[in-house]
Amino acid sequence: MSAPAAASSPTPKGKAELRILMLHGYTQSGASFSSKTKALAKLLAKALSPAPYNLHPSFLFPTAPHRLRPSDIPGYVPPEGAEAGAEAADEESDSWAWFRKDDATGSYRGFEAGMHAIAKAIADAGGVDGVCGFSQGGAVAALVAAALEHPYRDPPSASPSPSPSSEAEEAADWSWVSALRAANANKPLRFCVVYSGFYAPPASLAWLYAPPIATPTLHFLGSLDTVVEESRSRGLVERCKDPAVVVHPGGHYVPVARDWAMALVGWLRQRYDEPEAAGKQLL
């Protein structure tokens, strides 16, 4: 797995660090997501630094643990004359995923490993204040926020594993839940921002949506998004308590133009408008 990518600098005197976990989409990496959102990160730093906010955003860009082969990428067409031996080149791919959907069963292969990787990233950072995710990373960001709403929710004892098991009687592995909570010192997140995200339909993850996710969420949807159907994104919106929704006239990407970035800035400022907000939890 690629090494985690981070975009941070020493916290200036008089400022409070605002740690944001950035979760990339399917086929991306932490480094590529950092590059695509660099303009957004700069604008956030500039907008949140002045009084009364006095915040210094730092961004953590971990890379998912599952390396994808070219054949795993939607729309892949093998080159003419390609041979089976070309698999070696796959090892050089910088495309990653938090999990892989099993089309036959609908289960999320490798889901637990993805969540453990996120828990490690949070622990290495000393905890985070919020999460921002794109596409598959957006779906996972919402699940992370929900799992950290302890003690408000816990997995049912008899719930199956999100990943398919070779042995039906094998108990589900929910160790990632406790790992996430320990990594963030049992504190819920202050906010969750989702770009082109979607809800996870596996029945084993239903407990993360009921009751609805209480962490404040902001959802960006592209009106021309042909990768994630609007009904799937709306399905996640409907599973959040008092969600904010912004629809931009684009496709499947993170809009970093100033007009759309300022929608995020304004929403984040609301999370920290109260004088004592920097030291309290919203849940």
**CA–CA distance from 94 to each of 3, 64, 76, 90, 121 (Å)?**
11, 10, 15, 9, 19
Domain count, the chain: 1
The answer to whether residue 88 sits within a structural domain is no
Contacts of 179 (CB under 8 A, 6+ apart): 115, 116, 119, 120
This prediction has a pTM of: 0.89
pLDDT in tens, 58-101: 999 999 999 998 877 776 666 666 555 455 555 568 999 999 99
**What CATH number has the domain bearing residue 274?**
3.40.50.1820
Interior CA angle at 176 toward 173 and 179, to 5°? 135
Q: Quick one: angle between helices 175-183 and 136-147, nearest 10?
A: 80
Q: Could you tell me if residue 166 is inside a domain?
A: no
182 within some domain: yes
Asked, for residue 134, whether it belongs to a domain, the answer is yes
Q: Is residue 53 part of a domain?
A: yes
> Is 209 part of any domain?
yes
- Residue 246 domain boundaries: 5-70+93-157+174-279
Report yes or no on 10 lying in a domain. Answer: yes
Please check whether residue 222 lies inside any domain of the structure: yes
Q: Identify whether the C-beta of residue 196 lies closer than 8 Å to the C-beta of residue 222.
A: yes
What is the chain's pLDDT, residue by residue, as a tens digit (283 residues)?
Answer: 544 555 556 888 889 999 999 999 999 999 999 999 999 999 999 999 999 999 999 999 999 999 998 877 776 666 666 555 455 555 568 999 999 999 888 899 999 999 999 999 999 999 999 999 999 999 999 999 999 997 778 888 777 778 865 444 456 889 999 999 999 999 999 999 999 999 999 999 999 999 999 999 999 999 999 999 999 999 999 999 999 999 999 999 999 999 999 999 999 999 988 544 443 443 3
